[in-house]
Structure 1
Amino acid sequence: MTLLVFGKTGQVSTELGQLLEAVCLGRAEADLSDPAACAEAIKAANPSVVINAAAYTAVDRAEEEEDLATIINGDTPGKMATACAELGVPFVHISTDYVFDGQGKAPFAPDAETNPLGAYGRSKLKGEALVRASGATHAILRTSWVFSAHGNNFVKTMLRVSETRNELKVVDDQIGGPTSARSIARACLSLADQLGKAPGKSGTYHFSGAPDISWHGFATEIFAQAGKPMTIHAIPTSQYPTPAVRPGNSRMDCSSTQQQFGIAQPEWQADLAAVLEELNALG
């Protein structure tokens, strides 16, 4: 399998590069704000599968840069998928729980009604629509709360904060599934492999860590596993305002991913332990 990955230093793309030999295109090789150039990069590489692990992910800044976010998260994946359709190769695209409004307490199924609350979610939703319309053999993989030993993420932020503080306030009314970038990378590779053999499995799927938990609960487990004493106060979202509204319910129904591809939800506590071990090894 000749794998072309959009993304080079991001969490998932880093893991993909470690799991399998791949051509990873960073900003220097592929300008995500230029959809046509990204499509040409695919045609030039002539790969057997393409995974888009790159995105505009600055959720709050997207409220002020929605046009740019929409190009990168919307128009560009659409052009990538169209190029894949022309070459007849599978396209795996990572999306997000932010396409939903986070209402209720039930897990969102892949075919649940979408209603993004902010610019980031709207930009990702446009990308999904264009990928579906491209005619490419594809898998749109919605995931959530990504963490790893690389890049910027909640786990690393908590550990960094613990070096200067012994007391924190963390939101307790946003619920979701923390998902390790390595588990996402493995899922993407499995999707790509199976799509090549069974194009009829094209569609939208969910993949997040289990069990669902609040950010407060996640933080509590991070400090417990890391052996760092920390007093953590649970607060409502209303006490932690941000420019972009976060969905309160990010629970996702991942059953169809297991049924169609045999990919089970990862246990995030075990993945967290592996990430902490990796961070310790990195020093």
Structure 2
Amino acid sequence: MNILVTGSLGQLGSDLRHLQDGSDGHSWFFSDLPELDITDASKVEAFCRDHEIGVIVNCAAWTAVDKAESEPESAFRVNRDGAASLAAAAKALDALLVHVSTDYVFDGTGHRPYREDDPVAPCGVYGRSKLAGEEAIGESGCSHLIIRTSWLYSAYGHNFVKTMLRLGREREQIGVVFDQVGTPTWSADLAAAIVAMLDRIDPVRSYAETFHYSNEGVCSWYDFARAIMEAEALSCKVSPIESWEFPTPAARPHFSVLNKRKIREWFDLEIPHWHDSLLRMLREAGGGSQ
């Protein structure tokens, strides 16, 4: 099977690339800008047709949550229009689209882990643009699997873990919000889950399913930051603060824990706890230095 991974220079795309050693029987094609602009529908379809792509894994996204508030056109261009281009190509070629979405499609006012069929109500431009991408995929009629995830981090690129490591080495004390609760997700775990899903799908079946995936467990950003400092034996003190003490252009969900029962049962996945994955990532990346 020929598999295209878009956004291959990002966190998840990089972990998917790192995971592939050519022994799985698939041919993987990794693309990113400027090689392939997912918002150019004609080029996307031509690329997929020329390479006989059977599965598209879309890791490309506008993820600058705060910047999206001042540049909504850019966020929607990538997160909605780009998803629509990939969906159109998948539909035209009878390919499967695996699309990565976000917990930000929910408003974060819930008190139990969000299920896939819970009402969506994004509270910012980023969340609305990602939801619009999900809707465009559904409306296209292509075979698709949408995977919503949360609090993604990696040894690659910019993320919360790497920011905390930098601040922990530069400062004696930092404040981190304790009233936003969710689950960190190591992108290497999500990448492994996607590969496992592709190995277990029925190649002749058409799909129209949404799944949730994050690591197991629950914590606040404050708890997450403390765990990072402790893992690397950094002396920086982490103090709990409320969200209003750290205002941001975009509102953040106060509760964004995802229910993962569906993806576990469909694909027989064993999902690691977030703290175990954090320690493994730091160990493998040599303290998140990549």
Measure, in 2, the Cα distance between the counterparts of 1:144 and 1:32: 23
CA shift, 1:68, in A, is: 1.6
Q: Is 2:100 aligned against 1:90?
A: no
Q: Is 2:19 aligned against 1:19?
A: yes
1:217-250 Cα offsets, whole Å, 9 max, x none, are: 0011111111112211101111110000011111
Measure, in 2, the Cα distance between the counterparts of 1:107 and 1:198: 33
Q: Is 2:184 aligned against 1:165?
A: no
Of 206, 214, 234 in structure 2, the residue corresponding to residue 208 of structure 1 is 214
User: Does the 8 Å CA contact 2:41/2:88 hold for their aligned counterparts?
Assistant: no
Partner of 1:2: 2
Partner of 2:81: 75
CA shift, 1:200, in A, is: 5.3
Give TM-score, length-normalised by structure 1: 0.95
SS at the partner of 2:147? strand
* Letter in structure 2 aligned against 1:233: S
Q: Percent identity?
A: 36
SS at the partner of 2:271? coil
SS at the partner of 1:60? helix
Give TM-score, length-normalised by structure 2: 0.93
* Letter in structure 1 aligned against 2:235: P
- Counterparts of 1:182-201 in structure 2, within 5 Å, are 182-197=188-203, 199=205, 201=207
User: Does the 8 Å CA contact 1:108/1:252 hold for their aligned counterparts?
Assistant: yes
**Size of the alignment, in residue pairs?**
283
CA shift, 1:14, in A, is: 0.3
Measure, in 1, the Cα distance between the counterparts of 2:179 and 2:30: 37
Partner of 2:110: 104
Structure 1 gaps, min length 5: none
User: Does the 8 Å CA contact 1:89/1:137 hold for their aligned counterparts?
Assistant: yes
Measure, in 2, the Cα distance between the counterparts of 1:63 and 1:43: 36
SS at the partner of 2:286? helix
- Counterparts of 1:129-144 in structure 2, within 5 Å, are 129-144=135-150
SS at the partner of 1:128? helix
1:129-158 Cα offsets, whole Å, 9 max, x none, are: 111122222110000001111100111000
User: Does the 8 Å CA contact 1:36/1:76 hold for their aligned counterparts?
Assistant: no
CA shift, 1:8, in A, is: 2.1
Distance change in 2, residues 1:196/1:65 (3 Å): farther
CA RMSD, Structure 1 to Structure 2 (Å): 1.6
